[in-house]
Amino acid sequence: MSATHRPGLLLFAHGARDPDWALPFAAVVERIRARAPALPVVLAFLEFMPPGIAEAGARLAAAGCDRVDVLPLFLGAGGHVRKDLPALLAELRSAFPQVAWRLQPAVGESATVIAAMAEVALRASTAME
């Protein structure tokens, strides 16, 4: 990354009524923080859980980020990723024009995550009783 940039990371998940639902997503954040302690990272939810994407984006802007990668923590790109998220991002762009908001593909579309899911499936199938 360029020395003139202060990047940030906004992880966007669906959210659910059960607080335990968010544990794997919180674990992703912990792992990112362990590997990149200086990188501001915020986990936001579409519904049911705070913060929403507006609040998460405001936090990253307040932290001085001028380039934020927005990564949908979804396995497939359905309506939430293809419609809801771009609309929410348009609001962030309007509220914080000094920040470059870069929408990334859904995390489940990456070869790395696809390979990991296949690995978990094969391990389940070959496990002993």
Binding range to its own copies, per CB under 8 A, among 50-58, 89-97, 109-117: 109-117
Helical ranges in 1-129 per DSSP H: 23-35, 53-62, 79, 85-95, 111-126
Which residue's entry shows tokens 């002993």?
128
- Does position 71 interact with its own copies (CB under 8 A)? The reply is yes
Integer Cα distance of 36 and 55 in angstroms? 22
The distance in angstroms from the start CA to the end CA of the chain is 48
- Does position 125 interact with its own copies (CB under 8 A)? The reply is yes
- Does position 76 interact with its own copies (CB under 8 A)? The reply is yes
Quick one: DSSP state of residue 10?
A: E
- Contacts with 10 (C-beta within 8 Å, 6 or more apart), sequence order: 41, 42, 44, 53, 56, 57, 60, 68, 69, 70, 71
- Does position 89 interact with its own copies (CB under 8 A)? The reply is no
Q: Fill in the per-residue mask, 17 to 56: x = in contact with its own copies (CB under 8 A), - = not in contact.
A: xx-xxxxxx-xx--xx--xx--x-x---------------
State the nearest-atom distance from the C-beta of 113 to its own copies, in Å: 5
Q: Give the interface with its own copies as residue ranges (CB under 8 A).
A: 1-2, 7-9, 11, 13-14, 16-18, 20-25, 27-28, 31-32, 35-36, 39, 41, 69, 71, 73-79, 82, 102, 104, 106-110, 112-122, 124-129
